[in-house]
Structure 1
Amino acid sequence: MASNPPAPEAPYVPSDTLVYGGYRADDEIPLGEWNPTADSLAPVRGRHRVAKQRGGGFARSSTVLGVGVIAAVSAGGMASANTGKPPVSISMPDLPNVGSLISDDADSAADDTSAFSSVGATADTAEGTSDAGEALRSRILAQAEVQQGQLDTKAAQAVAAAAEKEADEAAAKAEKEAQEKATAAKKKAEEAAAKVAEAARLAELAKQYTLPTSSYTITGTFGQAGSLWSSGYHTGLDFAAPTGTLIKAIHSGTITEAGWAGSYGYRTILTLDDGTELWFCHQSSISVSVGQKVGTGDVIGRVGATGNVTGAHLHLEVHPGGAATGIDPMAWLRGKGLTP
């Protein structure tokens, strides 16, 4: 800590006019007292200015200033002791002596600047603190901007990932729909091709098969129930036609029976190469004999009304493999490309 320089000594006064501790004879004012007035003090300029004093009060002014500084320092120490905290060192700038502070008005501005240059240092410190705070603020804002940029990047990546996933799902859905449509179209094309192939096959079969008679009317179908049939239902397909109408071989084969058959009247059985038996019943006459080979469309007899009948007609039955129980002749004929 810098200390104040000692105050200058009071000027010498002859003993015949000044008595220490006594009174002056002219004004009778005690020399130990100092009562400054407005007239005896110059205007105060700047900080810590000590007013000029004319006369012999120079030493006392120096003494009062020193006592004030000591009292201020003592008060600081007492405050530190009262608070219970460790004392804080106080640094004070070097102050000029009291004589240098008591200067003319012309050089007062220079004295103020030189004596209290610490004021500028305090301003510089404040400015430095402000700059540090601004730098910290800028750093925080920059960090916040970086974090916001990272959040924006993550959000953009999430949006891009969601869009990509949605696009993949849409593409997969479109591909699946396309495959389903292609499969359906292929199936439909295959079905159409199969129909065409079946039609071609039936057309080819139709060249090999023919209906048993002509100028007919279907009067009875397979499976009809009634008391007219001994089995309780109709076992064949009836082609009603005038007596004498020609009966033809439906397909090529061998005659395995030709003659009277009770309730069937005159009956001819044609056995095909696959073993299927075709029964032609109620004929008025038979034109073939057993063991005879016939081709498609050959005449084998004529329509009649023999046996258990109510009118002239051809009763046709189909027995696959020579089985005792027949099948529906209508379905069988259609399977050969024929439409009764």
Structure 2
Amino acid sequence: MASNPPVPEATFIPAQRETETFGYVAPRAEEGPWEEWNPTEESVAPVRGRHRVAKQRGGLARSSTVLGVGVIAAVGAGGMASANTGKPPVSISLPDLPSVGSLFEGGSADAQAPEPTAAAALSTVAAGSAEGEDGADAGEVLRSRIMAQAEQQQGQADSKATAAALAASQKQAAAAAAQAEKEAAAKAAAAKEKAEAEAAAAKEKAEAEAAKAAEAKRLAELAKQYALPTSSYTITSTFGQAGSMWSSGHHTGLDFAAPTGTLIKAVHSGTITQAGWAGSYGYRTVLTLDDGTELWFCHQSSISVTAGQKVGTGEVIGRVGATGNVTGPHLHLEVHPGGQPTGIDPMAWLRDKGLTP
């Protein structure tokens, strides 16, 4: 077999790279440059069976480089997107790249196999990136969770506030009810006390009126049994009145001033125990009642009864005069209960008997 003549060496020009796009500062050593390889009879093994054409190393290297650069670009783009958008990083599965030796061992069909694999890997990366972009935003999910928790906490706080307000309202209502009940009880007690006081006052008033009526009835009955000692008179001096005209320094009876000769009557039925002259009392008649009370009729001008005589109520026993120690005609009446020497107020005694002087 004739050997292929060597091809003139071409000047190698390094591939132009956009360092800014992929972040490379300088070409990496593993990416070249390589020597151009021309197969010869000694370096190429006999081909059996179907004729196959070996692929140049330079092209393979460049394909691998392009594939690696694409993968890195995809990874870098994913990282940049994650950094820019704030989305969670997308996991990318890199394909298993065949070694250079395996490419030479297989045929031309095998040599073309890595390219679909690389394409599939890039599609996977693109799909993963799209899926990351189309999926739920982590920030939105977190925000939604925070908002949901905030709403839940706000709801719980509102529920607690409502419960507290309801409890306070119930407590206030209970306090108001207790206060109202207390006030009602106080009013009821006051009303009961007032009613009892009014009832007691009414009862007392009724009793007083009844007693007054009874007393009036009694006096009316007594008035039938007693009579005033004279008529056509004027009260001139009362019991206990002070003055130099009386030897004791005060008046000891009740004076009925009337013209001389005016009739003197027995106040009540009784017995005449004395009838005659009595010094400063002038002519005096003493009427002793059944209860032992002595009635003294003094300063008479004349006496119509004698000692030991029984008289009835209203019977004439003498006449008004001016005998004894007097300044004018009048009847001087004294009352001595039980015959005691010291007398009492004749005005009160007469009123007690139903008489009004």
TM-score of the aligned structures, taking structure 1 as reference length: 0.69
Q: Aligned to 2:136, what secondary structure does the other structure show? A: helix
Correspondence for 1:177 among 191, 194, 216: 194
Q: Does 1:120 align with 2:136?
A: yes
1:151 is aligned to 168
| 8 Å contact from structure 1 (residues 34, 57) kept in 2 | no
Correspondence for 1:28 among 12, 15, 20: 12
Letter in 1 for 2:17: N
| 8 Å contact from structure 1 (residues 101, 111) kept in 2 | no
CA RMSD of aligned residues (A): 3.7
Letter in 2 for 1:309: V
Q: CA deviation at 1:117?
A: 8.2
Q: CA deviation at 1:287?
A: 2.3
Shift in CA distance, 25/183, structure 1 to aligned 2, threshold 3 Å? farther
Correspondence for 1:57 among 45, 62, 65: 65
Q: CA deviation at 1:146?
A: 1.5
Shift in CA distance, 194/36, structure 1 to aligned 2, threshold 3 Å? same
Unaligned 5+ segments in structure 1 are 1-15, 18-23, 41-53, 73-90
CA distance in 2, matches of 1:147, 1:281: 100
Correspondence for 2:277 among 257, 260, 279: 260
CA distance in 1, matches of 2:67, 2:125: 21
Q: What does residue range 226-241 of structure 1 map to in structure 2 within 5 Å? A: 226-241=243-258
Q: CA deviation at 1:101?
A: 4.5
Letter in 2 for 1:249: A
Please say which structure displays the higher CA radius of gyration.
2
Q: CA deviation at 1:261?
A: 1.4
CA distance in 1, matches of 2:157, 2:18: 59
Shift in CA distance, 112/167, structure 1 to aligned 2, threshold 3 Å? same
CA distance in 2, matches of 1:253, 1:158: 81
Q: Aligned to 1:57, what secondary structure does the other structure show? A: helix
CA distance in 2, matches of 1:197, 1:337: 12
Shift in CA distance, 226/56, structure 1 to aligned 2, threshold 3 Å? closer
Shift in CA distance, 307/109, structure 1 to aligned 2, threshold 3 Å? same
2:221 is aligned to 204
Letter in 1 for 2:247: S
Q: Aligned to 1:231, what secondary structure does the other structure show? A: coil
Correspondence for 1:189 among 206, 227, 233: 206
Correspondence for 1:96 among 89, 93, 97: 93
Q: CA deviation at 1:211?
A: 0.6
CA distance in 1, matches of 2:220, 2:139: 117
CA distance in 2, matches of 1:34, 1:133: 56
| 8 Å contact from structure 2 (residues 283, 324) kept in 1 | yes
Letter in 1 for 2:299: H
Identity %: 58
CA distance in 1, matches of 2:19, 2:241: 155
TM-score of the aligned structures, taking structure 2 as reference length: 0.66
Shift in CA distance, 109/208, structure 1 to aligned 2, threshold 3 Å? farther
1:292 is aligned to 309
CA distance in 1, matches of 2:348, 2:325: 25
Shift in CA distance, 285/37, structure 1 to aligned 2, threshold 3 Å? closer
Cα deviation 1:234-257 (Å, max 9, x = unaligned): 221222233332211101112211
Q: Aligned to 2:185, what secondary structure does the other structure show? A: helix
Letter in 1 for 2:248: S
Letter in 2 for 1:96: S
2:155 is aligned to 138
Cα deviation 1:11-39 (Å, max 9, x = unaligned): xxxxx89xxxxxx9556223xx6614899
* Bigger fraction of residues in helix: 2
Correspondence for 1:251 among 268, 275, 283: 268
Shift in CA distance, 233/310, structure 1 to aligned 2, threshold 3 Å? same
1:43 is aligned to none
